[in-house]
Structure 1
Amino acid sequence: MGNVWLAFGLTLIAGLSTGIGSLIAFFAKKTNTKFLSTSLGFSAGVMIYVSMVEIFSNASDVLTEVHGEKIGVLYTIIAFFGGMLFIALIDKLIPSEKNPHEVKMVETEDEEVNKDRLKRTGVLTALAIAIHNFPEGLATFVAALQEPRVAIPIVAAIAIHNIPEGIAVSVPIYYATGSKKKAFLYSFASGLSEPIGALIGYLILMPFMNDTVSGILNAAVAGIMVFISVDELLPSAREYGEHHLSIYGMVAGMAVMAISLWLFI
């Protein structure tokens, strides 16, 4: 039960980091693009490495032990790409102009604009991010529940990539309403879908949890994390700053994740 509360707590921290993005939007005059690019690349490196080296491998081991090598590996592959398909379908349902992948700078809205349209944009962006974050919450929760030793780096990676999403919500709301409080609350609320995703996943899946379900979930989580990294984090990192900074950040993230896993062997 202790791991369950830890997993919920870490998922909550990851989700509510969107609020950090709104605070940055209020107090920063200009986006530090180099730092943001490197950080997003770092997050991608952490998630790709832990997904392929640790989570996918563990899922394959569990499913192979239960179903034999041939079927176990097949189940792992299907679940991995099933996770990718799941997050891709959710991504597809979000209109491109409201998609949280779209880069938003702190200074983007610093001009005369239609306030009603801006408010609508902010609200729709918050809704889009909430939908988008739902499977991330489930993925973070499952990873933290199954592998507590790798949970903190994953949560840090998710939290870093949620910060620009907080900016994307809070900037239009703030410029439309003039209220920092409203902008912060919208941004904060959009991140709540991550712990909600964890809660729903827990209530639905835990009664059926066994080695097969655990292995399939882990493989799917690996697929979700890899897809988020290559579809969202790395492209955003390149948009925010120099191409090489995002790559350096990614390599650093992989190295940190590798060392942290080695330390816990």
Structure 2
Amino acid sequence: MPDISSGHVWLALAVTLAAGLATALGSLMVLFSRRPNPRLLAFGLAFAGGAMVFVSLTEILTKSIDSFTQAYDARLGFAYGTGAFLCGVLLIVLIDHFVPNPHDSLDKQDPMYRENNKAYIKRVGLLTAVAITAHNFPEGLATFFAMLESPSVGMPLAFAIAIHNIPEGIAIAVPVYFATQNKFYAFGASLLSGLAEPIGAAIGYVVLSGVLNHATFGWVFGIISGVMVFLALDELLPAAKRYAKGHETVYGLVAGMGSLAISLVLFKW
């Protein structure tokens, strides 16, 4: 492992920081928005949900399976990756079961329902930020150590993660702006979430470098992918549907998946 004084370490950290800051770029659309509105909120939440599901199932879960495959073999790699994904789903199901959830009923007569329930939107934004921040830590670790091992591998990975982080910034900024009507808070929330990547890289270098292995990354990526898929389906899409006036939910869902799919296709050419 290179010493902290090595230029390779600082280069890897700088690339990881740049990828993380791409999260803040997604919030710029919020800064230029005249005022928050329910249709924008619905589209933004659905866009984020589609992006999160696509990234989780095509990128993060794949990373989990690949990591387990390198640790064991292809058959066990797929089995362990699937098991880690289901563990992530089970983890968030248990949390959802024991923590009261205001979206349990979509009936407008429900006293929890309000057309402009800012407390509810704040909760959705907070959960989204927590989930994205949590998965930014392993992404930061992956980018950092890939750069240390081989810049030719780390740079493309950082670029792909940066592309993914833009809709994640939207996912955080839109509900925060709608709930607070404060553009600074919206931008700040996205920025702080993005900073989790270089922070995760630094922690990994200082504390975890001696114990990180393919199996560890397999479990981390698998669990995070399960958590993100459940969050998107259980939190983001129901919230988007509630505030939609027309087809914003399906348009946002398809746009979120499509933008990520196209970006990945272009990246691989």
TM-score grouping bracket, smaller chain normalisation: 0.5 to 0.7
When residues 202 and 62 of structure 1 are mapped into structure 2, their CA distance, relative to the original with a 3 A threshold, is same
When residues 103 and 85 of structure 1 are mapped into structure 2, their CA distance, relative to the original with a 3 A threshold, is farther
Counterpart pick for 1:133 among 129, 134, 137: 129
Matched-pair contact (CA < 8 Å) for 1:11–1:155 = yes
Residues 104-135 of structure 1 show CA distances to partners (whole Å, capped at 9, x for unaligned) of: 87xx38xxxxxxxxxxx97x987996576334
Q: Which residue of 2 aligns with 1:96?
A: 101
Matched-pair contact (CA < 8 Å) for 1:21–1:165 = no
Contiguous gaps of at least 5 residues in structure 1: 110-120, 172-179
Residue 37 of structure 2 aligns to a residue whose secondary structure is coil
Q: Under a length normalisation based on structure 2, what TM-score does the superposition of the two structures give? A: 0.66
Residue 247 of structure 2 aligns to a residue whose secondary structure is helix
Counterpart pick for 2:169 among 148, 153, 159: 159
When residues 49 and 66 of structure 1 are mapped into structure 2, their CA distance, relative to the original with a 3 A threshold, is same
When residues 249 and 90 of structure 1 are mapped into structure 2, their CA distance, relative to the original with a 3 A threshold, is same
| Length, aligned pairs only | 234
When residues 52 and 211 of structure 1 are mapped into structure 2, their CA distance, relative to the original with a 3 A threshold, is same
RMSD, aligned α-carbons: 4.1
CA distance in 2, matches of 1:238, 1:127: 16
Q: Which residue of 2 aligns with 1:232?
A: 235
When residues 58 and 85 of structure 1 are mapped into structure 2, their CA distance, relative to the original with a 3 A threshold, is same
- Aligned-residue sequence identity (percent) comes to 24
CA distance in 1, matches of 2:25, 2:162: 15
Q: Which residue of 1 aligns with 2:3?
A: none
CA distance in 2, matches of 1:95, 1:196: 30
Residues 112-161 of structure 1 show CA distances to partners (whole Å, capped at 9, x for unaligned) of: xxxxxxxxx97x98799657633421202423553323213321222112
Q: Under a length normalisation based on structure 1, what TM-score does the superposition of the two structures give? A: 0.66
CA distance in 2, matches of 1:5, 1:228: 30
**Which structure 2 residues correspond to residues 65-144 of structure 1 after superposition, within 5 A?**
65-91=70-96, 94-97=99-102, 108=116, 133-143=129-139
Residue 96 of structure 1 aligns to a residue whose secondary structure is coil
